[in-house]
Structures are given as C-alpha cells and as structure tokens.
Amino acid sequence: MIRPLLVSFGALTILTGLAYPVAVTGAARVAFPRQAQGSLIVQDGQVRASRLIGQATEDPRFFWGRPSATAPFPTNASASAGSTLAVSNPALKEAVGTRLAALQASDPGNPDPVPQDLVTASGSGLDPHLSPEGARWQVARIARARGLDPAQVRALVDRHVERPTFGLLGSARVNVNDLNAELARM
C-alpha cells in the first residue's frame, strides 16, 4: 500500500525536480543563449553588468538610472524590493525632494523639468531602464563631463531607445546599462 505511493513520489520528484528543469534550461540555452546566461555585458573579457539589473553610479560621466529602494545598498539584486511609501507619506516627499535637489545640483544650467523616473524608484528597485526623457535630461551633464558634443550624446540616447514590446506593451525606454557600456567604449 505504501510502495505505490513512494514510487509515485520518487517518479514525480525525478520528473519535475530534475528532468523538467534540465530540459527547459537546455532548451533555453539553445534558443536564447545570451538571455539564459543572464544577458551579461562583457567588456575587455570581463563581466561588467547585466542588461537586466540596474547599476548605481554617481559618476557625472555616466547616465544615472532610476533610484533604488533596495537595502543595504542601491540595486542590491539579493534584496529586490520597491518602496511601499504612499504618495501622501512625508518620507516619500522628502526622498523625492533630496533626489531632485541632487539632480539639479549636478546640472544647474538645465532649465528642463526633471522627469519623474529620475526621482522615483521602480517597483523592483532593480530596473535598468529609464524613459527616453530621463536619459535626454542628462545629456548636457554627460557631454560636459566627457568633453563631447551634446548632439553626439543625444544621438547615442536616440540609438538606444527601445520601442514598446510588440508596438503596444509598455512604453519607450532606454537601457541605462547599454548606454553606459557604449560610453565606456567611447
């Protein structure tokens, strides 16, 4: 009576816990090799980042991504979490105000309003994407810090704009990791 139960349990464990994951992983590696390996960005033979996880920086020569609510440091992939602060929460208003002041201080001559995604964290705290407006807002600062023509940096942003998935899911976005990798190569 217990033997059929144990045989069924063992068979299902091998099937669902071993055979299925190995088959799916193998198929993914064949069909989508780059994505199955984590969509890594490799420069000079070294892994620098993943296209899927934001990288925090305050270096004025690079694009800054969305703020991260992860702890104990920004874009901590082992602690993915968004901020749960309500719009009416004074702590959120203070955090946004601090971020806004830091952005305006980084480029005091920029008369354009700061895009919302530069001062608010994403749902996961790991998002590597910005709106095209968020990336374009930073063009003058980066061009100045690198001694480049702003038109050259703006063209870089425009080349990296990803359209909505299937033309209708989501909105246009720019992967900050890709932008920064190309800036590092320049």
How many residues are recorded in the chain? 186
Q: Is the pLDDT of residue 12 over 70?
A: yes
CA 102 to chain centre: 20
Question: What per-residue string of b and e applies to 21-45 under the rule 16 or more CB within 10 Å gives b?
Answer: eeeeeeeeeeeeeeeeeebebeeee
Lowest mean pLDDT among 1-5, 21-25, 34-38: 34-38
Structure tokens at 181: 């990798």
pLDDT tens-digit readout, 59-74? 999 999 998 877 667 7
Q: Is the pLDDT of residue 76 over 80?
A: no
Q: Using CA atoms, how far apart are residues 87 and 69, in angstroms rounded to an integer?
A: 15
Q: Using CA atoms, how far apart are residues 98 and 114, in angstroms rounded to an integer?
A: 13
Question: What per-residue string of b and e applies to 91-108 under the rule 16 or more CB within 10 Å gives b?
Answer: ebeebbeebeeebeeebe
Closest CA to 66 of 26, 121, 103: 121
Q: What percent of the chain has pLDDT over 90?
A: 58
Region 4-22 average pLDDT: 95
Region 76-89 average pLDDT: 76
Closest CA to 146 of 120, 94, 183, 171: 183
Q: What pLDDT is attached to residue 71?
A: 65
